[in-house]
Amino acid sequence: MKSDKIVRLTEAEVDLSRLCGNYNKIKAAASVRIICIVKADAYGHGALRCSAALRECGADFFGTANLDEAVRLRRGGIEGDIIILGYTPPENAPLLAEHNIIQTVFSPQYANDLSCCLSGAASLRCHMKIDTGMNRLGFRAGGHYEQMAEAIRLPRLDFCGIYTHFACADTPSSPMTRDQYARFNDTVEALASLGVSFETRHVSNSAAIVNFPEMKLDAVRAGIILYGLRPSRETGTGGCVPVMTLRTTVSHIHDLRAGESVSYGASYTADRPLRLATLTIGYADGFVRSYAGGGVYIAGKRAPIVGRICMDQCLADITGIEGVYPGMRAVVFDGEHTADLIAEAGGTINYEVTSILTPRVKRVYK
C-alpha cells in the first residue's frame, strides 16, 4: 500500500497534558504568579506549542532569553506578559515597546542606552536585575543605590519588577542561596527608602521553588521542573513528571564476531560475539558523541551504545534481547528512563540533553 506520509525515524513526543499538570502542581504549591520559562525553544520542547498549552491552563507570564524568542511568541498569538532575561540591543528598544515585552535592565549604562533609543510616547516596561553573587548580569548588590534609583527614574522606562538569580539553589546545603536572598532584600529595602518600589519581586528558579519555598515573593520562575526534570542530583522535581519521550528506529540488525570493531576509529572491539542494532539517531539530531557511554531501551530492556556515535546513526548492543526487528522503535528517554541517565553518561545535565535536540527531530504533540 502506498503512502505519501513520511515516517519519522526519530521523534520527540511532547505530552502537553503532563506539561499543564506540572504547571498546576507548581501553581498550587507556590500560590503566586508563575513565570513559565520557555527560552531555548522551551528547553527543546517547542516554545510556541508549549506556551499555547500553558496559556490554556492559566499561565499569563513567560520568560525568554532574547528578543527573537519573545517576538516569535507574540507573532504566534501568545498574550500575557513576556520577559527577556538576557540582553537586547538598545536600538531594538522601540520593537520591545511595540510588542509590549518586558526587558531585563542590568546596568546604569544599559538603562540610559535603552531610554535614549525610545522616543515620543513610547514606554518600555523593565525589570531590574540585581547581581547578588552570580556575577553574570546585574546591578551589583551592596551599594550604589542612588545610581540604581537614577536609572529607574530615566524617561520612557517603566520599572515594574526587580529580581535576582541564584547560583546554588540546586545544592540545598550551600549557604550561598540564603546569602543572596538577604542581599536582594537589603537592596529592595534600600531602594524603598529612596522612594522606589516594584510591583513584582522574583528570585526563585526551579531549584529554589523546590528547596526554598519561603523565598517565593511575588512570582517564581519555573524552568526545568515545568518539563518534569530535576534541577540537579540533589534536587527533585516537586512532583512534576517528564513531558518528553524521545524515540528512534532500529534500521538494521547484525552479528559481530569476537575481535571485530565497530564504527569510526574502531575504538570499540568486541571481546565476545555480539548482536548489534543500528539506530537512526546521531549527533546531527542532538544525540552527541559523548553519550556513547549510555544506552537506549529496546523491547523494554537496556541496550548499551557501543562505538562512536555518528552524524546520523549509532549502534546498540542487543545481545540477549529477544524480539528485536528492523523498523522497531527504541526509546532514548521517557518518563521512566529519564534524560538524566543520558546526561550522566555524557558528563552533562538534562537541560542540555533536551535543549540541543535539533529541528531534524520532529516534535509530536500529544
Active site residue 25: no
Active-site residue, selected from the candidate residues 2, 23, 129, 264: 264
CA–CA separation, 299 and 282 (whole Å): 20
Active site residue 362: no
CA–CA separation, 111 and 130 (whole Å): 13
* 82 DSSP β-pair partners: 62
Write the CA distances from 279 to 3, 41, 335, integer angstroms.
23, 26, 21
* 220 DSSP β-pair partners: 34, 204
Write the CA distances from 67 to 85, 166, 200, integer angstroms.
10, 23, 21
CA–CA separation, 110 and 103 (whole Å): 11
* 62 DSSP β-pair partners: 36, 82
Active-site residue, selected from the candidate residues 5, 23, 25, 39: 39
| Pair 357, 230: CB distance under 8 Å | no
Instruction: Give the residue among 292, 285, 327, 294 at the shortest CA–CA distance from 308.
Output: 292
| Pair 288, 309: CB distance under 8 Å | yes
Query: Which positions are catalytic?
Result: 39, 264
